Amino acid sequence: MSRSCVLSLLLVALCSSISNAFIAPVSRLPASISPPAERTALKAIDIVEPSYNLAAGSLGLGLIFGIPGSPLKSRVTAILGGIPLTLFALFLAYQTTTLRFTFDESNFSLVKSSGESTGENVVVGGENVWGYDKFVNYDFFPSQSFPILVYFKETQTPAEYWNIGPGESANSEEALAKGAVPGQVHFFPAIGNSNQLLNGFEKHNCAKIE
């Protein structure tokens, strides 16, 4: 895969993780809801192990473009590549440390590493909790063995949000003609073990377009 392709994927990951994974403080949850740790203690939950591969890869690329003595290093590559990629690596490492994907009996969720709710999704509202039966597709980009982005599409989010941002092309007539199923698209940086994510999606029969 070409370097520019990797870079543009990382850029997409950055944009999508900023739009998708920014999290509201838990204190915004209504006081009447019992603490999630208490609720979840009674249920079987698989927590996906964190994966630092993406943060490490981003850091590696950042160093290649930014480190003195590297053949690719110049002021331009440092400013365009080295510095943003290194900052992105720190951002990913932070997310990898503080967030977890989980699978319970009926939902795929993004929670804090403490198990607490991540609050409302800032883009489309609603908790970062999606029922398996609402999935219409999932995938890993560029691939499951070299994951940069975890993608899924669901119909739980109200349809009025589906065409915002990347959803516009994902729900276009052209995409639907090619077999896409309408829904809300989500892209998250691949901050969890992709084998465990795949196993979880398969185990819970999440719909997938082949």
Q: Which of residues 30-49 bind ligand NAG (CB under 6 A)?
A: 43
How many CA within 13 A on the CB side of residue 70?
A: 17
Among 8, 97, 106, 172, contact with ligand NAG (rule: CB under 6 A): 106
* Sheet strands side by side (includes 107-112): 46-47, 99-103, 107-112, 129-131
**Which stretch in 14-22, 102-110, 114-122, 198-206 sits in contact with ligand NAG by CB under 6 A?**
102-110
**Contact flag: residue 104 with ligand NAG (CB under 6 A):** yes
Nearer to ligand NAG, 20 or 107 (CB): 107
Nearer to ligand NAG, 105 or 174 (CB): 105
**Contact flag: residue 113 with ligand NAG (CB under 6 A):** no
Give the bridge partners for 120, in sequence order.
127
Q: Which of residues 115-134 bind ligand NAG (CB under 6 A)?
A: 127, 129, 131
- Tell me the helix, strand and coil percentages in the chain, rounded to 5: 45, 20, 35
Length of the chain: 210
Within 8 A by CB and 6+ apart from 130, the residues are 107, 108, 109, 152, 154, 156
Whole-number minimum distance, CB 102 to ligand NAG, in Å? 10
Whole-number minimum distance, CB 144 to ligand NAG, in Å? 25
